[in-house]
Amino acid sequence: MNFQFDNVSGMLHMAGHGIYVWTAVLVTLALIAWLIINPLLQRRRVIKEIAQDVSREQLRQNASGESV
Amino acid sequence: MNWNWFYRMGSPRWFYESTSRWLPWFGALTVLLLVSGLVWGLAFAPQDAKQGNSFRIIYLHVPASFLALAGYFLMAAAGAIGLIWKMKLSYMVMKCAAPLGAVLTFLALFTGAVWGKPTWGSYWVWDARVTSMLILLFLYMGVLALQYAFDSKDVANKASAILALVGTVNIPIIYKSVDWWFTLHQPATIRFTEAPSMHPDMFQPLLVMILGFYCFYAVALILSVRVEILSRERKTSWVRSLVKQATHNSLGAE
Amino acid sequence: MISNMGFLAFLRRDLRLINRRRGEVASPLIFFLMAATFVPLGITPDAELLKNIAPGIIWVMALLATLLSVDSLFASDYQDGSLEQMLISPQLLVMPVLGKVTAHWLTTGLPLTLVSPLLGLLFSLPTAGYLPMMAGLAVGTGCLSLLAALGAALTVSLQRGSLLLTLIVMPLYMPIIIFGSATAQYSIEGLAWSGPLAILGAMLAVAIALCPLAIVTVLRLTTIN
C-alpha cells in the first residue's frame, strides 16, 4: 500500500478529476456533519424549552401558593 | 419465553439512558472508520484502469446507496413494529429515519452524478440504478410529507407506517421493473456505476467506508430519536429531572 | 346465489352518484385529449418521432388524467359523513370498497381506454400498436385506480390532500407505466406483447387482493378519530 500521488498538490488535482472527487467529498462530509450536528442543536433547544416550561410552572405554583 | 427484554426495549426512557452511556464511544468508532476509510480510499488505493481517479467517488457513493435502501427498510420495519406492538419508541425511530434516509438518497444521487461527468461525460444518465434511486427518493418524500400532514400524531404515525410498508412491498417490484426496462433500452455501454470486479486493494477501503457509514447512520438516527424522546416525554418526571440537571450543569459551568 | 357482500350494491350506488355529476367524468377525458396536444406543440410535430414515443406519451397522459380524478373517490362521502357511517357498520368492508373503486375505474380508466385510439391516431401510432395499447390500458388503469384509492384513503381527511396524494402515489405508478408502455411497444416491434400484459395482469391481481384491505384499514384510521 503506497501513496498514489507524487505530492499533495497532485492529490488535489487527481489528474484532472480533482474537482469532481473533492466536490463529492466535501458535499458528503458537509451533509454527514449536518446530520450529526442538527440533532445536537435541537437537543439543546428542546432542553431549553422544557426548562422554560418548568420554571414557568414553578412561578405559577409559587404565585398560587402565596395567594392561598 | 420471557419477552420482558423486548418490552423493556420499547421504553423511551430505557433507550435514552442506555444510549447516553455508549453513544459517545460509538461516535468515536464512526469517526475512526470514516476518516481511515476515506484517507485510504482517496490517497492510498490504486486508481481504476479505465476511470482513473474519479473512481474514488465510489467510496462515498456505494455506502450512501446501501444506507439509503437499508434505511428505508429500517423505517418500514420500525413502522410495522409500531403498528403491531403499538410501541411509541418504534414510531419515533420511523419518524427520524425518514429525513435521514432521504438525505442519504440525495447524497447517493449527487455523488453518482458527480462521478458520471468525468467518467461518462454527463451528469445524469437514465439507467436502472439511477432511476431506482430517484424513485426511492420519491418514496421517502411521500412518507415525510405524510408524516407532517396530520394534526394527530397518532394518525400521522400509523398512516406513515402503512405508507412505508406499501413502499417496501413495491421496492422490489419497482427495482425489477426498472431493471427490465433498461435492459430493453440501454445502449450497449458499460452499466453506470458498475464496478464489475474489484481488486482487493480497492475493495478493502470500500468495506471500511460501508461499515463507517452504517455506524454513522446508527449514530445520527439515535441522536435524532433521543431528541424526539425528550420532546415527546417532556411531561414525565425523568425528563424533568434530566433537564434540571442539564441546566444546573450549564449554569455551574458559567 | 352467493352474496357479493356489498360489491354490487356499492358499485351501483357510486355509479348512480357519479351519474349525477356527469360533467366530472368528462374532465379527465378532456384533459387527456388536450394535454396530448401539448406534445406536438412542445416537443415535435414530426410524425416519425411521434410514432416512436406514442405509447409512452399516451400512458403518461393516462396516468396524469387518473391522478386528476382520484380526489372524488372518497371526498364527497367523507364530507357528508356517509363514509364514517360505512366504517362503523359491522359488515366487512372489503367488497364495498372494491365496488367503489370499480365504479371509479368504469368512469375513468375505461373511458380513457376507449378514447385512446383517438390519441393513437394523433400520434401516428403504428397499426400493430392499437389493440395491445388498449389491452394494456384497460388492465393498467385498473391498477392505477386501486393504488389511487389507497392514496385517497390516506389523504381523505386532509385539507389540501390532492397534491400530497399525487406525491404518494406516483412512485407506485412507475412499474405500471413501464409494463403498460411496453405492451404496445412490444407489439410494434413484432415481439410477443402477451408478456408485459401478463405482468400487468399479475399486478392487477395482487392489487385487487391487497389494496381493498389496506384501504379499509387506512380509512378506519384517518376518518374515525
User: How many Å apart are CA A43 and CA B229, to the nearest integer?
Assistant: 10
Residue B113 lies in a domain: yes
Residue B201 lies in a domain: yes
Average pLDDT value for residue range C169-174: 93
Q: What are the chain B neighbours of A40 within 8 Å (beta carbons)?
A: 223
Percentage of residues in chain B with pLDDT exceeding 70? Answer: 93
Residue A47 lies in a domain: yes
Residue A28 lies in a domain: yes
User: Which residues form the domain of A31?
Assistant: 8-67
Residue with cell 427495482: B175
pLDDT band at C116 (very low <50, low <70, confident <90, very high): very high
Top mean pLDDT of A46-50, A54-58, B99-103, B179-183 is at B99-103
**pLDDT digit string (tens) for B107-140?**
999 999 999 888 888 888 888 889 999 999 999 9
Residue A60 lies in a domain: yes
Establish if B151 touches chain C: CB-CB under 8 angstroms.
no
**pLDDT digit string (tens) for B145-186?**
999 999 889 999 999 999 999 999 999 999 999 988 888 776
Q: What's the pTM value of the predicted model, to 2 decimals?
A: 0.90
C with B: touching (≥3 Cβ pairs within 8 Å): yes
Residue B6 lies in a domain: no
pLDDT at C75: 85
Report which of B24, B111, B26 is spatially closest to residue B67, judged by C-alpha positions.
Answer: B111
Interface of A with B in 4-63 (CB under 8 A): 4-5, 11, 14-18, 20-21, 23-25, 27-28, 31-32, 35-36, 39-40, 42-43, 46-47, 49-51, 53-54
| Complex ipTM more than 0.85, yes or no | yes
Average pLDDT value for residue range C116-137: 92
Shortest Cα–Cα distance, B168 to chain C (Å): 10
Residue B197 lies in a domain: yes
**Residue A48 pLDDT exceeds 50:** yes
Which of B177, B180, B182, B185 to substitute to test the interface with C, most C CBs within 10 Å? B177
The residue length of chain B stands at 254
Residue B209 lies in a domain: yes
**Domain spans in chain C, listed from the N-terminal domain onward:** 7-223
Helix (H, G, I), strand (E, B) or coil at B248: helix
**pLDDT digit string (tens) for A14-44?**
778 888 899 999 999 999 999 999 999 999 9
User: Which residues form the domain of B173?
Assistant: 23-249
Shortest Cα–Cα distance, B198 to chain A (Å): 16
CATH number at residue B67: 1.20.120
Q: With beta carbons less than 8 A apart as the criterion, state whether B55 and B92 touch.
A: no
* Cα–Cα–Cα angle for B125, B126, B129, rounded to 5 degrees: 100
The structural domain count of chain B equals: 1
**Residue B189 pLDDT exceeds 60:** no
Residue B11 lies in a domain: no
Shortest Cα–Cα distance, B97 to chain C (Å): 18
Nearest residue of chain B to residue A2 (CA atoms): B44
Residue with cell 417490484: B173
Residue A29 lies in a domain: yes
- DSSP code per residue over chain C: ----TTHHHHHHHHHHHHHHTHHHHHHHHHHHHHHHHHHHHHT---HHHHHHHHHHHHHHHHHHHHHHHTTHHHHHHHHTTHHHHHHHSSS--HHHHHHHHHHHHHHTHHHHHHHHHHHHHHTT--GGGHHHHHHHHHHHHHHHHHHHHHHHHHHTTSTTHHHHHHHHHHHHHHHHHHHHHHHHHHHHHTS-THHHHHHHHHHHHHHHHHHHHHHHHHHHHHH--
**Residue A58 pLDDT exceeds 90:** no
pLDDT band at A67 (very low <50, low <70, confident <90, very high): low
Q: Do B239 and A50 touch (CB under 8 A)?
A: yes
Residue B34 lies in a domain: yes
pLDDT at B190: 46
The structural domain count of chain A equals: 1
pLDDT at C90: 80
**pLDDT digit string (tens) for B65-110?**
999 999 999 999 999 999 999 999 999 999 999 999 999 999 999 9
User: How many Å apart are CA B111 and CA B97, to the nearest integer?
Assistant: 21
Percentage of residues in chain C with pLDDT exceeding 70? Answer: 98
Residue B1 lies in a domain: no
pLDDT at B52: 81
Average pLDDT value for residue range B242-246: 87
> How many other CB atoms are there within 10 angstroms of residue B112's CB atom?
26
**Residue C81 pLDDT exceeds 60:** yes
pLDDT at B5: 75
**Residue B191 pLDDT exceeds 60:** no
Establish if C183 touches chain B: CB-CB under 8 angstroms.
no
Provide the terminal-to-terminal Cα distance of chain C, rounded to the nearest Å.
38
